[in-house]
Structure 1
Amino acid sequence: MTTWFNNMKLRNKLFLSILLVVLVPVLFVGMFLTAQFRQMALENAVQQTASNVERLKQRTSDIIKIPLIVSERLLFDRRLKTVSNSRYDTVLDVFKAYSGYSDFRDFLKTYAELKNIRLYIDNPTLINNWEFIQPDDSIRHSFWYRAAIADNAVRWYYVEDQAGKNKYLSLVRRIDFPEYGTKGVLVIAVNPVTLHAIMNQEPYETMIIDENNNIVASNNPALSGKLLTDASIGKIIQNYDSGTYEEIVDGKLSKIIIENVHPASSLNGLRIVSVFAVDYIVAEADRIGTMGMIVIFLSCIVAVILISLVSALISKRILKLSKEINKVAAGNLNAYSPIDGNDEIAQLSRQFNSMVRSIRELMDEVYESNRQKSMMELKQKEIKLKMMASQINPHFLFNALESIRMKAHINGQSEIAQTVRLLGKLMRKTWRSAGRTSVSAMKWKLSAATWKFKNSAMPTG
């Protein structure tokens, strides 16, 4: 790994460094922050939706509390018992009785949450005025009527109104009249306008469902009044209890929040269901994440361009320095690196120039030293040669003088022999002191001795 990195060009090293030091961490941090932001957005949406559902539950409870209050009042209303159980002889009597009893109408005026109030009771003398209704066979066989007659518990059903054939969420309960031995079924319908008013404030698809899976109210008008099975999530949540679920709805991953609404003193209750697609929630987070990734990508491109320019400048300066180094390696000590600046490359260039200058000066010194050494050696050789010559000439001269002396001695020329002997003695003394006497001086003495020898030898000749 180290060898591979060392063999890599400087530009590639810079690109690799920006990739490892900048791009990878930035991409990792970007993806991490995007994922965290996405998860945070989803959690906030779930929390917000749960809060909305809880608020919707409270407001729904407040609305359906009104029918409970009204039913409790009517349960002990003596005038209602009298009007509903009296036997009337004429229509006028019924009309007077209805005119004298205005509680139903007063409650409807007082509470906007109420749509209508119906009392179903068996009294053949009463006239159906949509407040007091004589139940027919279809009503007697309806599930809600039979359930109410079975006991006096409060129940909530999605009941069809006899007047307009519209269905409303209604409180259904039995009212007993023990004084008359009769029973009636009180039906108080909730005004759907109030339910839809609070539903329309919800940002996501939300619905209120009764125990028979009727969609009582929804912020999607196409679903109101239909069965849960008609909705896309019908089969998914049909048997789900309160909680938060994650399911595929219409091919999209969705969060489903279910909250039960169980009114006080009621045998059954309602369910509030809110559904939102995860993609819809995280769309903004994904958009911001995508924008962030685009910004990161563009930043990376700009960084690559800048690092290319910087690496080109650095490489150009290093190549220029390398070219001058190669000149020095080829023997050109006049190489000079003109790189300026105060960075490391400029410092290296100045050190290179200083090094070349030092090498050049050192080479000059070595050359001068070698030249002087060569001259000194030459002079030493000359001196040795001269000294050898000076050593050879005296010996030859001594031998010659000795031959002359012996020749003169043999011939009886004692005076000449003595003169030659003295001359040789003189020359030997001179030779011994040759280290302190120059060659020229020695020659001069030799010339003087020769001249003396000639002068001394001339008279006898």
Structure 2
Amino acid sequence: MKRAKFNFHNVRLSNKLLIMYILSVFIPIVLTNIIFYSVTINNVKKQQIHDSELALRQIRNDFGKIIDDAVGISSSLYTNAKINLFLEKDYLTDVDYVENYDMYLRTFNQSSPINPSINSIRFYTDNSTVIYSGGVYPLTNDIKKSNWYKHDMERSAASPIVLHSPIDNQTSTFSLMRRLDYFNFNNKQKVVKIELNPSTIESIFHNVTFKGNVYLLNAEDEIAYTTQEDLAWRKKFIHFSSVSKTNRTVILKSPALNQAFLRNWKVVGTISEKTMLNTVYKSGQFIIYLAIINILIPSIIIILINRSFLNRLHRILRHVKKLGDQNFERIPDPEYTDEIGQLSSEFNRMTKKIKELIHDVFLANIQKQDLEIKRNRAQLSALQSQINPHFLFNALETIRMRSLMKDEQETAKIIHNMAKIFRNSLTWGKDFVTVRDEINLIMSFLEIQKYRFGDKLSYEIHVDEAAENCLIPNMAILPFIENASIHGIEPLKEDGEIKVTITLEKDLLCFCIEDNGTGMTQVKKEELLASLEMDEEIGENVGIKNVYYRLRLYYRNQFQFTFQSEKQKGTVVMIQLPYNLVLS
């Protein structure tokens, strides 16, 4: 099937206005707000990322500064000959040690400037003659077995080592470890441990300007410190890649720390986009309200304007459609001066003119229709009058022939059936009868034919109970029974059979008349069908033509008539009537 070509003129006016509104108002406003919102989000995101990078850089610099301070202190101790001699010397008595402690170490502690980033300074030595107190601790086997100590002893340079130092389960800090082996008189193993102030570390990493989690990563990308509270990084090293992150998490990295002993250490921050854009999301409601206002006001204006003419156009359209039902109502609108008002005025003038024309030709049409009705009735009467003599002649001939062969009792029975048929032929003024009455008439006819043919003829009649009270045209079926008997069964020598079936299927009353008679050739069948469509004299095939013409007069094109026939095989006639349309 060829697809119809689209034409914009076929689109309803209301749909055209809707398309115009969507393309000219709704979509531009929505797109404008979406673009504005997207640009704002991108700008805010860039600004937040920039500020967060600055905050990370500040954390990196502050952490590097306190490490540099601790390294500076360790360097002064590393090159301090007196303290190295104090830790190197063998003491004969405890008094001798206390005097040297007061002279060198206590004096150093008192003279050193106070640095709030340093929590404590401890000295570790394997000198067994010192008293381990006041910041001096033994270099035990546990310390010597530790990884940092082994790593420190393996190195040739005496550069410091930065270690993560847990204080308890909730607090941790960093310590700077350095081997004191600067001088040639170095005979004892000496290590200084400078522990950073945990509150200083916490204040550096918990930067209020950074709104996410901060991670300090060592050279192996293991977390050395973090602000993420639900991460057990104090108990074991956790690789940064194993930290749970979503697709909407922004990862920011600062440049690596400058110190040689902190090579490849870096500060990394993670922020969710939701946190970064929280301010924009809060202002999103304002953008939505603004978009609603921008859409609502033009929409109200457009609706008011559309109503001024769409409603009136629909009213005109309804009245135009009523013209098809010969309803010539005037449009009650006032006479407005716009184009639609002028259209309403012209429509009212046209309906007035049509009414006048109808009034002028009404009587002539009635007379014409009356003549047509009379003509149809006359044709119907003529058709009916052709049926009775033809049928009665055959019936009386049958009685005459059988009377010669039978006694009076059988003749009386057949005459009784004949009387029924003759009585029905006298009631042609009754156009419609019930299916039950028609069946009674058919049975009378078939009994006459059975009387005539004897065992040569058998018949069956099947009728739906629901169809018995339906009305059909008088003698609409009997001519087909007569045709089956006379033209189909009579030429046979034996085993003739006629079957009548009447059913009710949905809204159709269906008749089926079957016989196993001589049938007819295809040529004869086509000639009969062609003759049914010719409005000429009836001529041959009186019974079939009479029924067909009567059905056409009663039902017009609301009935179906078909038949099938084969030579020496019989004939099947099918009739379907709209039972709900018959007269009641």
Which of 274, 278, 285 lines up with 2:280 in the alignment? 285
Structure 1 223/110 Cα, relative in aligned 2: closer, same or farther at 3 Å? farther
Give matches, 1:227-376, under 5 Å.
234-236=240-242, 249-251=244-246, 253-266=248-261, 268=263, 270-289=265-284, 291-293=286-288, 295-297=290-292, 299-315=294-310, 338-339=335-336, 345=339
Number of the residue aligned with 1:82: 85
Structure 1 88/212 Cα, relative in aligned 2: closer, same or farther at 3 Å? farther
CA RMSD of aligned residues (A): 4.2
Q: Secondary structure at the match of 1:93?
A: helix
Q: Distance in 2 between matches of 1:264 and 1:296?
A: 54
Letter in 2 for 1:120: Y
Q: Secondary structure at the match of 2:100?
A: helix
Contact preservation (8 Å) 1:169, 1:216: no
Q: Secondary structure at the match of 2:98?
A: helix
Contact preservation (8 Å) 1:214, 1:227: no
> By percentage of residues, which structure has more helix?
1
Structure 1 192/61 Cα, relative in aligned 2: closer, same or farther at 3 Å? same
Work out whether 1:119 is the aligned partner of 2:123. Answer: yes
Q: Secondary structure at the match of 1:110?
A: coil
Shift of 1:191: 1.2
Contact preservation (8 Å) 2:90, 2:129: yes
Give matches, 1:206-245, under 5 Å.
206-211=214-219, 215-223=223-231, 226=234, 234-236=240-242
Structure 2, unaligned runs of 5 or more: 321-332, 350-584
Shift of 1:92: 2.0
Number of the residue aligned with 1:5: 8
Contact preservation (8 Å) 1:262, 1:268: yes
Give matches, 1:10-29, under 5 Å.
10-29=13-32
Contact preservation (8 Å) 1:156, 1:210: no
Which of 35, 38, 45 lines up with 1:35 in the alignment? 38
Q: Distance in 2 between matches of 1:209 and 1:93?
A: 46
Letter in 2 for 1:68: V
Contact preservation (8 Å) 2:163, 2:174: yes
Shift of 1:90: 1.7
Q: Distance in 1 between matches of 2:236 and 2:17?
A: 63
Query: Which TM-score applies when normalising by structure 2?
Result: 0.49
Query: Which TM-score applies when normalising by structure 1?
Result: 0.60
Contact preservation (8 Å) 1:128, 1:134: yes
Contact preservation (8 Å) 1:27, 1:296: yes
Deviates more, 1:268-277 or 1:56-65: 268-277
Number of the residue aligned with 1:128: 132
Letter in 2 for 1:178: N
Q: Distance in 1 between matches of 2:115 and 2:67?
A: 11
Letter in 2 for 1:179: F
Which of 152, 171, 193 lines up with 1:187 in the alignment? 193
Q: Secondary structure at the match of 2:33?
A: helix
Shift of 1:25: 1.8
Q: Secondary structure at the match of 2:254?
A: strand
Q: Distance in 2 between matches of 1:58 and 1:175?
A: 27
Letter in 2 for 1:339: Y
Q: Secondary structure at the match of 1:111?
A: coil
Shift of 1:80: 0.6
Structure 1 256/301 Cα, relative in aligned 2: closer, same or farther at 3 Å? same
Q: Secondary structure at the match of 1:276?
A: strand
What do the CA deviations read for 1:203-233 (whole angstroms, capped 9, x no partner)? 2111323447665443345558626765xx7
What do the CA deviations read for 1:246-289 (whole angstroms, capped 9, x no partner)? xxx35452112233543434264633121111233234434544
Structure 1 3/260 Cα, relative in aligned 2: closer, same or farther at 3 Å? closer
Contact preservation (8 Å) 2:213, 2:227: yes
Structure 1 107/337 Cα, relative in aligned 2: closer, same or farther at 3 Å? farther
Give matches, 1:142-181, under 5 Å.
142-150=146-154, 151=156, 152-159=158-165, 168-176=173-181, 177-181=183-187
What do the CA deviations read for 1:294-334 (whole angstroms, capped 9, x no partner)? 64356435543432221011335667999999xxxxxxxxx
Aligned residues: 332
Deviates more, 1:32-41 or 1:135-144: 32-41
Letter in 2 for 1:139: I
Deviates more, 1:1-10 or 1:185-194: 1-10
Structure 1 69/103 Cα, relative in aligned 2: closer, same or farther at 3 Å? farther
Letter in 2 for 1:205: N
Q: Secondary structure at the match of 2:176?
A: strand
Contact preservation (8 Å) 2:213, 2:226: yes
Number of the residue aligned with 1:68: 71
Structure 1 51/323 Cα, relative in aligned 2: closer, same or farther at 3 Å? same
Q: Distance in 2 between matches of 1:14 and 1:157?
A: 75
Structure 1, unaligned runs of 5 or more: 238-248, 326-335, 357-461
Shift of 1:35: 2.6
Q: Distance in 2 between matches of 1:252 and 1:130?
A: 53
Q: Secondary structure at the match of 1:173?
A: strand
Number of the residue aligned with 1:417: none
Percentage of identical aligned residues: 16
Q: Distance in 1 between matches of 2:186 and 2:318?
A: 123
Contact preservation (8 Å) 1:172, 1:186: yes
Letter in 2 for 1:47: H
Letter in 2 for 1:219: T
Work out whether 1:203 is the aligned partner of 2:211. Answer: yes
Shift of 1:170: 1.6
Number of the residue aligned with 1:138: 142
Structure 1 147/104 Cα, relative in aligned 2: closer, same or farther at 3 Å? farther
Structure 1 261/105 Cα, relative in aligned 2: closer, same or farther at 3 Å? farther
Letter in 1 for 2:124: Y
Q: Distance in 1 between matches of 2:9 and 2:180?
A: 96
Letter in 2 for 1:204: G
Q: Secondary structure at the match of 1:266?
A: helix
Q: Distance in 2 between matches of 1:345 and 1:106?
A: 105
Q: Distance in 1 between matches of 2:23 and 2:51?
A: 40
Deviates more, 1:301-310 or 1:207-216: 207-216
